[in-house]
Structure 1
Amino acid sequence: MRRRAVLCAGMATLDLLQRVAEFPGPNEKTTAERAELSAGGPATGAAVTAAALGSEVSLLTALGSHPMAGVVTDELTEYGVELLDVTPHSGKPPVVSAVTVHSTTGSRSVVSQAPAEADPEPGALLRTFPDAVLVDGHRPVLARAAVRHAERAGAPVVLDGGSWKPVLAEILPRVDLAVCSADFRAPGTTGLDEQPTALFERGAGAVAITRGPEDVLWWLPDGASGSVPVPAVEAVDTLGAGDVFHGAVVHAVAGGAALSDLPDTLSFAAGIAADRVARQGRREWLRGRP
């Protein structure tokens, strides 16, 4: 049987992860209990997750050939994600994020960069047709290209909506499922309850909003709505939980999950994300998976 094919398009970063007993205050220093370098970025986390769940995954991003990018490239290879790099010969360092995780609560703080310049078009890199596409909107040229490719393939598009980005105004009419964070705010809105209507008006299909340990809310274009409970687990490390959730969603969508099955899809993704936050370390939850 052919494996379901997923294309993820967006940000790949090199993350410096440090776990601390307490976050330092202004002008304070602290000692990390644990530190590691890891591949990060919403689309990257989703890609690794979908691959771990059994999809055949490609990641469309801009990474380059700088030695620091090698950490990201090696990790993608380790987890079976095909890298589609639109800047393979660039010697510039990759986007770097500094991430600090509280060892007791699992909460985290993140300092990151934005891409410095527009990306080139992917052209012939998009040579195969996926069963589903995920975009995070962080690299607008690649988001547009991925959505166009999804249209040619007749593939559904999942949006990782961590925050509003200008490119969303262009691509939302082609988004079949927008999965947004509780902090997402469309222009002209202020409250969470306004987001479904704002997204529907801009052309999105179904809408879901994740709220950490609280129920995931969902809405369909026909007016149906509801919520899906999140498994109760002790949160050890919340870093990348949203990326894992999105990766599980796009894996399910690539397997043929319909909008009418949205509660089941979200429940599946919530279970995978709960497994992630219950374990220390970005990839520890993958250990022992088939």
Structure 2
Amino acid sequence: MGRVFVAGSINMDVVATADRHPRVGETVAGHEVFYFPGGKGANQAVSAAKLGAPTTLIGRLGTDAFGHDLKTFLAAQGVDLSYVTDTAGIHSGTAIITLANADNTIVVVPGANGFVSADDIATVALAKGDIAVSQFEIPLATISAFFNRARAAGATTILNPAPAIAFGAELLDLVDVLILNETELSLLAKTELRDSDEPARFIEAARALRGDRDMIVCVTLGKRGVVALADGKPLVVEGRAVKAVDTTGAGDCFVGAVAAQLAAGKSIRDALDYANIAASICVQRMGAAPSMPTAAEVKAFRRPGEGRAP
């Protein structure tokens, strides 16, 4: 079995719940405040680890109280923290989240995450069969260095380009599996997409973004499921009807689950089916990293025959 290495952000999520989101300049009364471990890197690492993959997280924390609490939580989830560095004089990454009717708005303050550098990944021992995962809450130059090392070692690279920002083709050239939502695909493919569009529209945009690269493109559509372009052929994974409580970590759960399944040698179709189930469990719980399901929970949640290639 391969290993999963995640280079990414580690945040404390400060979550306020309310009946609705405030408009610009407006104050609304909230109900509760929660403190949840989060950050896209940490979330994806916890997802992969709880689903059974040997998982290492590469990142930075401040030497503040949040940093201590985050490290304690991640270690308890079975994540290897050998490459998580404490950074003096800088606060740990923090996300301010408003949650209303299962939808969220998020403001991320990078803190120590902004200092993750190529030096942090210089000694990471990647090998063929391993999975290297990253996202856009650490510097792009660091991601490029990480993926270059992964490619040289024969590892598979997974990029989750979120939060959505424009980036160069040279980074995309290093990506084996691109996992993104319709908003991110709209930005990168320079086309207008809506979550209600037919699957063919997303496949068309994915094909344009892929170009002549040998890259798998997976587009997550929330409750509608997933559409993907693999080996130039479209794949559609139907969504599952569940009562969502908090969607904050769903995309990260999906990415971590795909990474864990690919590390176990599963096909991309099997990995997408499995990740879709895992994410549908995640949204039924509060919090980001704490909502990630275990392999046993995914197994119990499957319908007969689900999660296997046709």
1:209 aligns with 2:216: no
- Matching of residue 107 in structure 1 with residue 88 in structure 2: no
The structure richer in helix per residue is 2
Go from structure 1 to structure 2 and tell me whether the alpha carbon gap of 1:148 and 1:87 turns closer, same or farther (over 3 Å shift). Answer: same
Aligned to 2:305: none
Counterparts of 2:285 and 2:271 in 1: how far apart (Å)? 22
**Per-residue displacement from partner, 1:60-113 (whole Å, max 9, x unpaired)?**
1122323321122111111111225564242310121111212xx311111112
Partner of 1:279: 285
* Paired position in structure 1 for 2:144: 144
Matched, 1:243 2:252: yes
Q: TM-score of the superposition, structure 1-length normalised? A: 0.86
Structure 1: 5+ residue runs without aligned partners?
Answer: none
Q: Distance in 2 between matches of 1:16 and 1:97?
A: 6
C-alpha spacing 1:75/1:142, structure 2 compared with 1 (3 Å): farther
* AA matched with 1:110: I
Structure 1 position 16, deviation (Å): 0.6
Q: Check whether the contact 2:94–2:110 (CA below 8 A) recurs between aligned residues.
A: no
Query: 1:209, 1:78 → 2: CA distance?
Result: 31
Aligned to 1:234: 243
2:21 corresponds in structure 1 to 23
Say yes or no: does 1:41 pair with 2:39: yes
Assess if the C-alpha contact under 8 Å between 2:281 and 2:293 holds in 1: no
Report the secondary structure of 2:265's partner residue.
coil
2:4 matched residue in structure 1: 6
Aligned equivalents of 2:189, 2:49: Cα separation in 1: 37
Whichever residue aligns with residue 239 of structure 1, its letter is T
The unaligned stretches of length 5 or more in structure 2 are 194-200, 298-310
Residue of structure 1 aligned with 2:92, choices 91, 94, 97: 94
The alignment status of 1:220 with 2:218, answered yes or no, reads no
Find the aligned partners of 2:163 and 2:86 in 1 and give their Cα distance: 28
Which residue of the partner structure matches residue 76 of structure 1? 74
Kept in 2: contact 1:57–1:82 (CA 8 A):
yes
Q: Secondary structure at the match of 2:34?
A: strand
Aligned to 1:191: 192
When normalised by structure 2's length, the TM-score is 0.81
Q: Distance in 2 between matches of 1:202 and 1:15?
A: 39
> 68-77 or 201-210, which moves further after superposition?
201-210
CA shift in 2, pair 1:94/1:13, >3 Å: same
Question: How far apart in 2 are the matches of 1:86 and 1:281?
Answer: 22
Give the direction of change, closer, same or farther, for the CA distance of 1:167–1:27 in structure 2 (3 Å limit): closer
Change in CA separation of 1:82 and 1:205 when aligned onto 2, cut-off 3 Å:
same
What's 2:180 paired with?
180
Name the CA distance, whole Å, in 2 between partners of 1:197 and 1:111.
Answer: 31
The total of aligned residue pairs comes to 281
State how far apart, in whole Å, the 2-side matches of 1:57 and 1:191 are: 36
CA-atom RMSD in angstroms: 2.6
Q: 1:275 is aligned with what amino acid? A: I
In structure 2, the CA distance between the partners of 1:83 and 1:20, relative to structure 1 (3 Å rule), is same
CA distance in 2, matches of 1:268, 1:77: 25
Map of 2:261 onto structure 1: 252
Given that 1:186 and 1:199 are in contact with CA atoms closer than 8 Å, whether structure 2 keeps it comes out as: no
